[in-house]
A and B are shown apart, each in its own frame.
Chain A
Amino acid sequence: DAMVIQNPRYQVTQFGKPVTLSCSQTLNHNVMYWYQQKSSQAPKLLFHYYDKDFNNEADTPDNFQSRRPNTSFCFLDIRSPGLGDAAMYLCATSRDFGVRNSPLHFGNGTRLTVT
């Protein structure tokens, strides 16, 4: 089945130690998104790629970076994780961007713990 896969499901890192979360998709979608979701809060959009074009949200901290080496893979790098970065990180894809009838397909997320 076509899907969005996030690895790992759980990630523990130390305060200040760089960490990378990965996402892959078999849907061949053009757009990939990263959302951050803290407990009982709404998913918050961090950035998205339309193909190779990177689009950062204005309020996304510089501590968060992303890479998309090819259509299938996208990575979220947190350069110096703080305790406040502990959250669920959700990757999503869509066929196109802003297309009015295009739903998002989400992975199951990576829950990041910062010790």
Chain B
Amino acid sequence: SQQGEEDPQALSIQEGENATMNCSYKTSINNLQWYRQNSGRGLVHLILIRSNEREKHSGRLRVTLDTSKKSSSLLITASRAADTASYFCTSYNQGGKLIFGQGTELSVKP
């Protein structure tokens, strides 16, 4: 079964605004990963946060992790049209596999 479920399913914002996507997961994890997929392309690994971390930054990305609520959020600050993509969270399930949810489709309008 999928390990990450993203919310909202679709998000439309204006360039320069911040975009926040949420993720819930089911089982205990050692880390959680976020990926981006541009239309018609493969997935690209964005950031990994370990279970003993609460927040992590990478450029305009900020990821938080709340293991008590089994949830994570991805914040993209000062969004750009090039950030338009689908975003997935995932973690290794008990079988050692990365199973993806349906993702959040982000549209950033110029």
- Identify the A interface with B (CB < 8 A): 4, 6, 40-43, 45, 48, 88, 90, 92, 97-98, 100-101, 103-109, 111
A4 neighbours in B (Cβ, 8 Å):
42
Q: Which residue of A lies closest to B10 (CB)?
A: A40
A40 neighbours in B (Cβ, 8 Å):
102, 105
New A-B contacts (8) at CB < 8 Å, excluding given A6-B42, A104-B98, A111-B40: A42-B2, A42-B103, A92-B43, A98-B95, A101-B48, A101-B50, A107-B42, A109-B40
Can you sample 28 A-B contacts with CB below 8 Å? A40-B102, A40-B105, A42-B2, A42-B102, A43-B43, A45-B97, A45-B98, A48-B97, A88-B40, A90-B42, A90-B43, A92-B43, A98-B92, A98-B95, A98-B96, A100-B92, A101-B30, A101-B48, A101-B50, A103-B33, A104-B43, A104-B45, A104-B98, A105-B45, A106-B43, A107-B42, A109-B41, A109-B42
- Identify the B interface with A (CB < 8 A): 2, 30-31, 33, 35, 40-45, 48, 50, 88, 92, 95-103, 105
B50 neighbours in A (Cβ, 8 Å):
101
> With the chains together, A103 CA to B50 CA distance in Å?
12
> With the chains together, A105 CA to B102 CA distance in Å?
19
B103–A97 CB distance below 8 A: no
A42–B88 CB distance below 8 A: yes
> With the chains together, A104 CA to B98 CA distance in Å?
8
Q: With contacts A42-B103, A100-B30, A103-B33 known, is A108 near B45, CB below 8 A?
A: no
Smallest beta-carbon distance A34→chain B, Å: 12
